[in-house]
Structure 1
Amino acid sequence: MERGVTGTYETSVAAGETCRAFVPAPLPPDPSLSVDASLQERLDEAHLVLGRLDSVSVLLPETSVFLYSYVRKEAVMSSQIEGTQSSLADLMLYEAAGAPGVPLDDVREVSCYVAALEHGLALLKGGLPLCTRLMNEMHAKLMTHGRGIGKAPGEVRRTQNWIGGPSPARASFVPPPPQRLGDCLSDLEKFLNDQPIRHSALIKAALSHVQFETIHPYLDGNGRLGRLLIPLILVHEGVLREPLLYLSLYFKTYRSNYYEMLQRVRLHGDWEEWLWFFATAVRYSAAQAVDTAKALNALGEADRERIRSLGRVAASALPVHQALFARPMSTIPAIGAVTGQSPHTVGKMLDAMIALGLVREVTGMKRNRIYEYTACLELLNREGEA
């Protein structure tokens, strides 16, 4: 349904230039959403796959392992949309105290994404509602290191920004002026907390994402934080027990469609078309997550069987394998801290696993070695067809 422009334009000034800034109308859409049979079917499909994904967090014995790795995969994907070159291996190297093969700022930015998600989840579990304070605290974590440190971490912007184009006057989109951000964020808070009416979790996440991206309340990091809010909303609403849904790969694959959809909502009010796109992204991404979780679980069981073939040393090798499964790139001291084994024992078990072709040493050095669970990383890096 085309409703026309979903907001108003106000004159603002950015970089010394006069421009037209867009102030979105509060949610929910007016007229209200028109969900026909086809759109309802797509939403139902997305909900169904989300249910399957949620069951993964209950049924799979390696859920915590999957969550650790999958969150980091999403951090890499989301940051790549913003132009970083860091890979999953770079991030895990960084976390294992190794030197990443990309600029340090890139891998630090990805690490901050993980920290922001973990902080947001902790705040929600502590009873804080979905609100501007939560967003600000997550933004502060997100922008702690790297190129974002000078972009007012945790603070709503006080100046006009713009998106695309060489100047504000020729930008593809100009978000609300800074003096309107308080009202815009307050209205978004109300919608997130079911005022004036309640919406389903999926619709709430879909509409809120567009609204946040349109408000663009920070100097930098808006895209990453906007994508982070999607799994947080679903966890807060009880749809998912763990934040296992991430849409960055889908948004990256269909980036031009994604940006076009956002602008189409602003200019034409076609929320239903956006809902279709969003539900399709959820359906695909949740199905991929389920497949990846099952594949990781199968890999772990198959490799444990191979380790059991080692005979007497298997009892010592299995805990080392489990430590590497939890952290697919690690060091002898880190593995020893988890398993309680001596460095000598850990090293011997790693040598045995290298002989089986399960593990490889990635530094080529005699000291401060880092070990990679190769098949696990390859499985996580498999993106599939969107």
Structure 2
Amino acid sequence: MNTTHDPHKPFNDLPPLPPSVDIETKAVLKKTTSCGRALAELKGIGRVIPNQALLIDSLILQEAQASSEIENIVTTSDAVYKAFSAQTGQIDLATKEVLRYREALWYAFNEMKRQQVLSTNLFVKCVQIIRENTAGIRKTPGTRIVNQTTGDIIYTPPEGEQRIRELLHELEKFIHSEDGIDPLIKLALIHYQFEAIHPFGDGNGRTGRIINLLYLSLNDLLDYPVLYLSKYIIDNRAEYYRLLRGITKEQNWEPWILYMLEGIEQTASHTRNKILAIKALMDTTTEMARNRLPGNVFSKELVELLFERPYTKIQHLIDRGIARRETASKYLKALEAIHILKSQRVGKETLFLNTRLYELLSHS
């Protein structure tokens, strides 16, 4: 089979996985060991936190924002955090797309945990949530990937719905095969293959990055999809695309696999440190609230709620059963009085910002 590709022609003969070349080189196996160790440390530190769910939405929103930024959908952390907490129609389109990415990730993660399967149907549902439409597999020919500077065509993905579905079915079989390949190496192979298939009219990159997190969770390498991998891709974006093209043109797999392993290792360490910092801040805030709040206001549940997302509001306390509306307002104002929270109006609501958590999350 021809393993090179004319960028002007649909890559309908995309080679199946695993590649015919050696992918378990000495360098790759060495990097796999250190990468696996970093992931194990991240998973372990997550388990020492009493309620991991406290941290998940804040970390996932960061991943959602970064993954969207790769596709030139740019918004601010503050806009995302506000929109996640506020009930307002005044949300810009970029922020809405970031929130839909979060929704797609959560939906896919819960479905994967329920079925223990990564399937074409799940990928389609992800992209439909991200794009907020009912589009499925590409049916219309003519998709081209072009150099944004020169306008040159650099890749033409497979065409024809039937062929695209065949390639996705082959990918599904590889994902779930018991082939002895280390899951971390397989993740790099899977990510390339999905991006090369390019099954959707839009949203392929974001869906592919969701699949990365799902695959790590499916293989019990993560408990929750909290790896902030898109930040690494943003910081090394040119290399990301160059190495993808290197596989398509020359089947040059080793540099790509090493790139992905390095990204996972760095990101796992970064995320672990972030979780430890959030946990330390939570402990400090708990002590501060216990010492300075009136006895009838302080509760561990109240402080934990402040760390689920940077912005809190009265309704969050009501929904959690911490207090009724009037009392909830007094609790939040008491927290503002001791400088744990800071209030601001967003539309018709008052939101209360956990300023130290926001600063911690904003510091990359």
Alignment TM-score > 0.5, same fold? yes
Q: Which residue of 1 aligns with 2:101?
A: 113
Deviations 1:342-378 (A, max 9, x none): 223222222222222211112288x621111111122
Taking the aligned partners of 1:382 and 1:105, their CA distance within structure 2 comes to 25
How far residue 327 of structure 1 moved from its aligned partner, in angstroms, is: 2.7
In structure 2, the CA distance between the partners of 1:118 and 1:166, relative to structure 1 (3 Å rule), is closer
User: Any residues of structure 2 matched to 1:266-285 within 5 Å, and which?
Assistant: 266-285=248-267
Q: Does 1:373 align with 2:354?
A: yes
How far residue 5 of structure 1 moved from its aligned partner, in angstroms, is: 6.9
How far residue 143 of structure 1 moved from its aligned partner, in angstroms, is: 1.4
Q: Does 1:202 align with 2:184?
A: yes
Taking the aligned partners of 1:158 and 1:260, their CA distance within structure 2 comes to 27
Q: Is the 2:131–2:203 contact (alpha carbons within 8 Å) kept by the matching residues of 1? A: yes
In structure 2, the CA distance between the partners of 1:157 and 1:66, relative to structure 1 (3 Å rule), is farther
Amino acid at match of 2:308: A
In structure 2, the CA distance between the partners of 1:7 and 1:119, relative to structure 1 (3 Å rule), is farther
Taking the aligned partners of 1:326 and 1:84, their CA distance within structure 2 comes to 25
Worse-matched range after superposition: 112-121 or 90-99:
90-99
How far residue 131 of structure 1 moved from its aligned partner, in angstroms, is: 1.8
Query: Hey, which bits of structure 1, 4+ residues long, moved more than 6 A?
Result: 166-169
Q: Is the 2:214–2:225 contact (alpha carbons within 8 Å) kept by the matching residues of 1? A: yes
Structure 1, unaligned stretches of length 5 or more?
Answer: 11-18
Amino acid at match of 1:68: D
How far residue 278 of structure 1 moved from its aligned partner, in angstroms, is: 0.7
Amino acid at match of 1:118: W
Deviations 1:4-31 (A, max 9, x none): 9735559xxxxxxxx4222420011112
Amino acid at match of 2:114: G
Q: Does 1:225 align with 2:222?
A: no
Taking the aligned partners of 1:368 and 1:133, their CA distance within structure 2 comes to 38
In structure 2, the CA distance between the partners of 1:7 and 1:185, relative to structure 1 (3 Å rule), is farther
Taking the aligned partners of 2:114 and 2:189, their CA distance within structure 1 comes to 25
Identical columns (%):
25
Worse-matched range after superposition: 110-119 or 154-163:
154-163
Q: Does 1:90 align with 2:79?
A: yes
In structure 2, the CA distance between the partners of 1:223 and 1:66, relative to structure 1 (3 Å rule), is same
TM-score normalised over the length of structure 1: 0.87
Structure 2, unaligned stretches of length 5 or more?
Answer: none
Q: Which residue of 2 aligns with 1:125?
A: 113
Q: Does 1:53 align with 2:42?
A: yes
How far residue 333 of structure 1 moved from its aligned partner, in angstroms, is: 2.2
Q: Which residue of 2 aligns with 1:192?
A: 175
Q: Which residue of 2 aligns with 1:360?
A: 342
- The root-mean-square deviation of aligned C-alpha atoms, in Å, is 2.5
Q: Which residue of 2 aligns with 1:32?
A: 22
